Amino acid sequence: MAAEPPDTPSAARGQYATRLDPEFWDYVDAVNGWYPPEIVAAPIAAQRAVYDRMCAAFRLPRPAGVETQDRLVGAAGRDIALRHYLLAGAAPAACVLYCHGGGFVLGGLDSHDDICAEICAGTGFEVFSVDYRLAPEHRHPAAFDDALAVFEWLAAASGLPLVLCGESAGGNLAAAVAHAARRHPRRAIGQALIYPGLGGEDGRPTERPIGRSYVEHAAAPLLTLADLDFYRTIRAAPGQSSDDPTFAPLRDGDFAGLPPTVVVTAECDPLSSDGETYRDRILAAGGHALWREEPRLTHSFLRARATVPRAAGAFARIIADIARLGAAV
């Protein structure tokens, strides 16, 4: 068969022309139509405005019976906004602390509202979404400090078992809190991390990434190594240490005592190897961890769940994972 001309869509998609399903490519094209790759060169305010419009365009209605209440939690002279999700008529067996994605730069309570609502409806658990501070106005450890403060508030305010959950940048925060709070009297009973960035790309010029996906999927649709470098740099405080586990949980020297963990990644995502490596280190330390790489998907596939059966199935499995973690008491 003759090679396609270089200006055809499939040729421009490279290896991913056949590694992703046509309906997922429709999703990728829709995302890029709203939030094109070159947007990272725009001012942060412009990036956030475009991202918020994209999130609104993809947002699904909350499932019937899910009620919400916004509130503020005071912590060290600042207020942290939360959104509380509760399924009407349910007797929740656990609560979920959810940290949204967005590269530590984008997102908030509205950007992942439907995802939190569906987790609440699918598990019957209470869900608390954290509106943590964003970079570059607030560099590390601001977002981590906010997530940890909300964990400590929730551990004191609720008698329910607590599951940590986060997506992308939020997966980093959820894991960092799990590490920091592993000896807390009310430590989390589980953590569910959705295509998290855990520090496997490292960023030090003398070291290479620790996972195969950083090489194989360096130019994947919707998230590239260049994107990761941008988000890592804009988040880092001056003199940031790559070995700080609150910045990069994979750089922790101790993986003992962590709660049972489920890590879900996408096959065509440079971050996928972080999940594999994280699982292996928890198991090596005597803990319980599962890593699942969802095939023929990329980073951010949760937003595709309404139109792509693979993404819908992956999200259904994630909800079941969270339900199992919350029931393990």
Active site residue 184: no
Annotated catalytic residue within 100, 140, 217, 299: 299
- pLDDT band of residue 4 (cuts 50, 70, 90) is very low
Residue 20 CA to residue 25 CA, distance in Å, equals 7
Annotated catalytic residue within 114, 269, 274, 321: 269
pLDDT for 205 beyond 80:
no
- pLDDT band of residue 329 (cuts 50, 70, 90) is low
The pLDDT value recorded for residue 328 is 80
How confident is the model over 183-212, as a mean pLDDT?
81
Residue type, 136: P
Nearest residue to 244 (alpha-carbon basis) of 287, 198, 302:
198
Annotated catalytic residue within 168, 213, 273, 300: 168
How confident is the model over 197-210, as a mean pLDDT?
65
How confident is the model over 157-162, as a mean pLDDT?
96
The pLDDT value recorded for residue 211 is 82
Side-chain half-sphere exposure of 146, counting CA atoms within 13 A: 25
Domains and CATH numbers, the chain: 9-327 (3.40.50.1820)
Position with higher pLDDT, 240 vs 44: 44
Q: Long-range contacts for 109-113 (Cβ within 8 Å, ≥24 apart)? A: 109/70, 109/81, 109/82, 109/83, 110/52, 110/55, 110/56, 110/59, 111/51, 111/52, 111/55, 112/55, 112/167, 113/59, 113/62, 113/68, 113/83
The pLDDT value recorded for residue 12 is 79
The pLDDT value recorded for residue 9 is 66
How confident is the model over 196-223, as a mean pLDDT?
80
pLDDT for 204 beyond 50:
no
Active site residue 299: yes
Position with higher pLDDT, 204 vs 67: 67
Active site residue 213: no
